[in-house]
Structure 1
């Protein structure tokens, strides 16, 4: 499910400062011309249901059945290699029973987000597939750690790079910037984005999280996910740092599954991330083995 926004922490917190930064940039700064698609109405309904102490399964089923393509997505997932046991499921209710409530909500969230924010562009091949892989890896990692909500982790994994398709839709020339940023070795990806457009996908992703009322720690972690020098800093809330560190590990595992070279962030900051999470490289390698079948489903 999508992590729902709680009240922002105190005004002196790093998360509150990021919220003020985003609000200022949106009204008077570089984000004025960024168009953020509205949060889908069905997702807002799903969020409200999942906030209840005992979510109404019938209401979740009604939301799923209100969109034929979403219903088909649930049934396809339930019949996929990770869940298929016995006879294929034929209905939304059967799919929900096989997937379980949390996974049903996660699949629905991914479907709704993917259809709200279009990434059908040659510069973003397999964007939502990789986002779903990252979300699955984040959920798995959360279950290995103490104190990290799997719902919050899944949301962060899904939305981490959402600023990219939003920038591609809103900013002329951003496609060329993506090519340049990926090729340059003299500066970081976000440095190239800022040089060309006075903002970057981390800031725009945080804007999406703010507009869609995602959990404050998700918003802050998206904003800081390339500012990994702050790992271990007393200025940033522990839950935000845990998302950042786990996100770096999740990205590494997804890239390794696809036989890609490690990113610069992993090379430079993996030691700090593992230290923060109190795990070692052998544990991460084991996580990769356990996740392999799930990530291969995409």
Structure 2
């Protein structure tokens, strides 16, 4: 499979398949502007600051994080967006803004997806942590993948009758994969819908493909697939396991079945994952 194959699948499902009735929220204008400003060879700092200042709540988020004990240290509290950006750094600022804009574009008000965006943000942090540790992991796409990995779930919950019950059933069943239950009930799943969101929002193609394939570990041996996609999928499973360890949860079905294979493929060890989990806990203190 190649990225182009994934694109074709999503397009066909949208035109005449089960995705026809799925309502995709529009990409926020401020996010489009932010991505354009960050995509320049020399990111436009003035534009990023203007975008951050355009939303009072987003500005407050940046100031809150910049003034957290981890970032504040012995310094004076930040009182402006510009000061917060300087203290946090441009990449961290852009990631915080992206998370804020996505959360507010796809709200989740359901007991079936408690703490959804909190956990998505934590996954994005874990992916950022893994960038220098896993060769080939794209520093621009990895945190986005962490944030968008399961975005199909709230979209399905808003668009498809009975999907809440499917979430409960899929989480309880041990006889088949999560996405198998989704497909049995709705003829699509959160991986496909998440890829559609990425496509509609104009996000990077490797991200779109990785979201589509994040439960499909045959990508590790697929010589036709662009290597960056497989690395995202493998690193995503490691990030999820780090989160579960940090929360004191048992490994999920994907890790139980594929964890050892993924570790071997990435040439890392379980000890590495444990050490990185401790590092992740330290980063989370800032947020």
TM-score of the alignment, normalized to the shorter chain, above 0.5? yes
What is the DSSP-based 3-state SS (H/G/I as helix, E as strand, rest coil) of the residue aligned with 1:32? helix
User: Matches of residues 103-142 of structure 1 in structure 2 within 5 Å?
Assistant: 103-142=92-131
* Residues in 2 aligned to 1:204 and 1:241: alpha-carbon distance in whole angstroms: 19
User: In 1, Cα distance between the equivalents of 2:211 and 2:229?
Assistant: 9
Unaligned runs of 5+ in 2: none
Distance 2:50 2:170 in 1: 44
Distance 1:115 1:139, change over 3 A: same
Distance in 1 separating the partners of 2:146 and 2:83: 27
How many Å separate the matches in 1 of 2:81 and 2:56?
Answer: 10
Q: Which has the higher contact order (CA 8 A, sep 6+)?
A: 1
Output the TM-score relative to the length of structure 1. 0.93
Distance 1:229 1:291 in 2: 28
Residue 181 of structure 2 is aligned with which of 185, 188, 192? 192
Distance between the aligned counterparts of 1:178 and 1:81, measured in 2? 37
Q: 2:4 corresponds to which residue?
A: 16
Conservation of the 8 A alpha-carbon contact between 1:229 and 1:269: no
Could you say which residue in structure 2 is the equivalent of 1:215? 204
Q: Over residues 2-31 of structure 1, what are the superposed CA-to-partner deviations in whole Å (9 max), with x where a residue is unaligned?
A: xxxxxxxxxxx6110000000000010000
Please, what TM-score do these two structures have when normalized by structure 2?
0.97
d(CA) in 1 for partners of 2:21, 2:69: 43
1: distance between equivalents of 2:146 and 2:59?
A: 23
The alignment partner of 1:218 has SS state of helix
Offset of residue 297 of structure 1? 5.4
Return the match for 1:228 from 217, 227, 230: 217
**Residues 183-238 of structure 1, C-alpha deviations (whole Å, 9 max, x = no match):** 11111110000000000000000000110111111111111111113322213221
- 1:272 and 2:261 aligned: yes
> Separation in 2 of the partners of 1:257 and 1:296?
13
Paired residues of 1:254 and 1:295 also in contact (CA < 8 A): no
> How many residue pairs get matched?
286
